[in-house]
Amino acid sequence: MRVAFFGTPEFAVPSLRALLDHRSEIVGVVTQPDRAQGRSRTLLVPPPIKRAAIDAGLPILQPERPVGDLFAASLRHLKPDLGVVVAYGHILRPQILAVPPLGMINVHASLLPRYRGAAPIPWAILNGEEITGVSIMRMEAGLDSGPVLQRATCPIAPNETGGSLSDRLADLGAKTLVEVMARLAKSDLPGDPQDHSTATYAPKIDRDTTRLSFSAPAVVTARKVRAFDPTPGAWAMHGEAPVKLFGARIVSGSGAPGEVLAAGRRGLVIACRDDAIEVLEVQPAGKTRITVDAWVRGRSIAVGDHLA
């Protein structure tokens, strides 16, 4: 079966490698363009999936947006039988979905119809879910609304971060994708229709979503820190500058919301509406991620300071 693979971030890499190990015939990889990074914005950095595709010697397409006759013709030129989409980052229109004769399937990091949308992993942590998983679905014009071919569950650990959960779901998604591909090779899989009445959504994460409020309960604040660890990072204001916080857990403590109750080698303890959170690492504005101890030794934070 000839496969066109669509993907961009590190999350997609295990699925591409699993298909290659499974000896699927990958006829091309579609990913986003290289992006400028660094302070000068002159260094072009390729997406993780592009680096994996180069290592495998695969043809690569990098449209700014996967639309229009030119891109459709480029995709048809690859002559794929099936499209596989894993965290590509763009919604594919019907003109593109119709190119492979066998359609397209998607690896989605939730148990559909729960958490349809762009950011299912952080939203599952934010909402205090104990179980999540992956769904392999047939793609259609709606947002993550197609029939589900297979689901696989995954527990969310009490102190799970967005990064650790993403890594585990990426591996689970790759394993489940290979199982679905083996079934597709034997017969057509229509899939199970989703119950749209029970759908929930996981919209894109913006800066307002990642801002911390210490007037919230400690359990809610800790979840937010973990959900956005390592990226994009939950943040608060310290004086006139933002600072990102990482590695949160709930500890005993009381004070005005946002008050620094302790600062040292063991971490930074910040009062919330009830109890407190302890964070182990921070990223001040314009700096790299450092330990709280290093931040304290630099005299940038002290007991009695406030974050807001």
Whether pLDDT at 41 is above 80: no
Average pLDDT over residues 302-307: 96
**How many structural domains compose the chain?**
2
Position 10 in a domain: yes
Q: What is the average per-residue pLDDT within 158-168?
A: 97
pLDDT score, position 17:
98
Asked whether residue 157 is assigned to any structural domain, the reply reads yes
Domain edge (last residue) among 198, 222, 245 = 198
CATH number for position 254: 3.10.25.10
Residue 53 identity (one-letter amino acid): A
For the chain, what is the mean pLDDT? 96
| Domain assignment present for 218 | yes
Same domain, 99 and 131: yes
pLDDT > 90 in the chain, percent: 93
Any domain includes 26: yes
Domain that holds residue 288: 207-297
CA distance 71 to 74: 5
194 with 220, same domain: the answer is: no
The answer to whether position 307 is within a domain reads no
Cis, peptide link before residue 190, omega less than 30° from 0: no
Q: Which of 151, 173, 198 is the last residue of a domain?
A: 198
Structural domain ending residue among the three candidates 166, 198, 230: 198
* Mean per-residue pLDDT, 76-101: 97
Q: What is the rounded (10 degree) CA torsion for 140, 76, 175, 56?
A: -150
| Angle at alpha carbon of residue 151, lines to 186 and 130, rounded to 5° | 165
Amino acid 188: pLDDT: 82
**AA letter at 19:** L
Kindly report, residue by residue over 256-288, the tens digit of the pLDDT: 999 999 999 889 999 999 999 999 999 999 899
Residue 187 has pLDDT above 90, yes or no: no
The model carries a pTM of 0.95
> Is 246 within a domain?
yes
Q: Which of 134, 109, 92, 94 is nearest to 6 (CA)?
A: 92
- Asked if the peptide bond before residue 120 counts as cis, ω within 30 degrees of 0, the response is no
